[in-house]
């Protein structure tokens, strides 16, 4: 029988997400053969991560964490909304957000960071949870914002717990005002962003390709009026200003009073918005749809 080393146990744990003692027992049962040990764990129902890795994960939670002058936001996905109510999963998301505060928003750096006092990395802990909870999970994205002077406020819409929910916003506010006042302004802007979904902070930050597409559409619409080109040009520019009011944060109407511009509200507070980020859970993920009853019937038919 081959000697079972600590390195072999760790390798098996990383590959399967099973517990340390289970991995050691599997290797002993398999005489040190890695693939046979994996099969042993699977037969015992202790290795689930590999089988679940291909399934779509579009549910889960957005998590935020804050510190003086900076804040972090992460999205961790799972397959069902049920997992979002699992306290272990919630704790994982909160911890990962705090880790992002320290290591930054590079996903690979976050995955390689130590996870609390478990002796595992974030990536290893995620694999462990996949096996334990029984669903595919994924650390999808992270954003960290910071300011030299001011505050970075975090807002979670319809939070399931403090700092956890399905829509999250970070807002970086610079200024010489009291930090508490800047944080309050930032949270108000965060609520606004959650509701209005702006694409850019200011007009300079609008995606040039998106602007070109909008201008082309507006030009065709204006030409359909049969007016001269000089008039059409003015019509297009007027509609572009209206487009900015829809997609640019600083040009939008402040949702809290329905009449002021965000730019004016921020200026009145003696502050400057330098950045924002908005996450909505599962946005951009193509979700699988199917007939659950048909799936059950097919499985029963064998």
Domain ranges of the chain: 6-47, 59-203+249-280, 207-247
- Nearest alpha-carbon partner for 92 in 60, 55, 69: 60
* 59-203+249-280 against 207-247: fold identical: no
Residue 167 pairs in a beta bridge with 157, 280
What is 59-203+249-280's CATH number, 3.30.565.10, 3.40.109.10, 3.30.479.20, 3.40.1390.10?
Answer: 3.30.479.20
3-state secondary structure of 141: strand
Q: What percent of the chain has pLDDT over 90?
A: 53
Region 118-128: mean pLDDT is: 90
Region 199-205: mean pLDDT is: 95
Q: How far apart are CA 163 and CA 176, in angstroms?
A: 26
235 pLDDT higher than 80: yes
Q: How far apart are CA 296 and CA 294, in angstroms?
A: 5
> What's residue 57's pLDDT?
62
Q: How far apart are CA 63 and CA 285, in angstroms?
A: 18
Q: At what angle do helices 122-133 and 6-16 cross, to 10 degrees?
A: 60
Fold of 6-47: Helicase, Ruva Protein; domain 3 (1.10.8)
What CATH code would you report for 207-247? 1.10.286
Q: How far apart are CA 93 and CA 86, in angstroms?
A: 11
Region 92-102: mean pLDDT is: 97
Lowest model confidence (mean pLDDT) among 160-164, 227-231, 262-266, 283-287: 283-287
Summary mean pLDDT of the chain: 87
- Long-range (24+ apart) CB contacts under 8 A made by 154-162 are 154/64, 154/65, 154/66, 154/71, 154/73, 154/187, 154/190, 155/186, 155/187, 155/190, 155/191, 155/193, 155/194, 156/62, 156/64, 157/191, 157/194, 160/61, 160/84, 160/85, 160/90, 161/90, 161/94
- Nearest alpha-carbon partner for 152 in 126, 136, 170, 135: 170
* Phi-psi domain of 279 (left: phi exceeds 0; alpha: psi -120 through 50; beta: other): beta
Query: Which is higher by pLDDT, 3 or 169?
Result: 169
Model pTM?
Answer: 0.75
> What's residue 299's pLDDT?
45
> What's residue 177's pLDDT?
84
Q: What are phi and psi of 120, to 5 degrees?
A: -115, 160
3-state secondary structure of 273: strand
> What's residue 116's pLDDT?
87
> What's residue 142's pLDDT?
98
3-state secondary structure of 269: coil
Q: Are 122 and 96 in contact (CB under 8 A)?
A: yes
54 pLDDT higher than 60: no
DSSP states along 212-257: HHHHHHHHHHHHTTT--HHHHHHHHHHHHHHHHHHHBGGGSBPTTT
- Long-range (24+ apart) CB contacts under 8 A made by 116-120 are none
């Amino acid at each position: 029988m081959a000697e079972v080393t600590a390195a072999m146990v760790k390798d098996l744990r990383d590959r399967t997400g099973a517990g340390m003692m289970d991995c050691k027992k599997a290797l002993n049962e398999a005489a040190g053969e890695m693939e046979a040990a994996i099969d042993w764990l699977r037969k015992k129902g202790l290795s689930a991560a590999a089988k679940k890795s291909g399934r779509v994960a579009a549910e889960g939670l957005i998590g935020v964490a804050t510190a003086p002058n900076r804040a972090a936001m992460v999205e961790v996905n799972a397959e069902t909304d049920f997992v979002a109510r699992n306290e272990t999963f919630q704790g994982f998301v909160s911890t990962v957000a705090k880790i992002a505060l320290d290591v930054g928003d590079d996903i690979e750096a976050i995955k390689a960071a130590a996870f609390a006092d478990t002796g595992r990395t974030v990536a290893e802990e995620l694999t462990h949870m996949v096996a334990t909870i029984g669903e595919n999970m994924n650390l999808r994205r992270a954003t960290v914002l910071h300011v030299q002077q001011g505050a970075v406020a975090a807002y979670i819409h319809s939070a399931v717990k403090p700092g956890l929910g399905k829509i999250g916003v970070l807002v970086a506010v610079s200024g010489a005002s009291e930090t508490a006042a800047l944080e309050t302004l930032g949270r108000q802007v965060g609520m606004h962003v959650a509701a209005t979904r702006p694409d850019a902070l200011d007009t300079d930050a609008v995606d040039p390709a998106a602007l070109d597409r909008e201008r082309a559409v507006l030009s065709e619409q204006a030409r359909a009026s049969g007016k001269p080109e000089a008039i059409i040009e003015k019509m297009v520019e007027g509609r572009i200003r209206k487009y900015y009011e829809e997609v640019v944060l600083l040009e939008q109407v402040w949702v809290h009073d329905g009449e002021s511009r965000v730019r004016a509200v921020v200026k009145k507070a003696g502050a400057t918005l330098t950045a924002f980020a908005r996450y909505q859970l599962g946005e951009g993920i193509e979700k699988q749809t199917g007939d659950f009853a048909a799936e059950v019937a097919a499985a029963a038919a064998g």
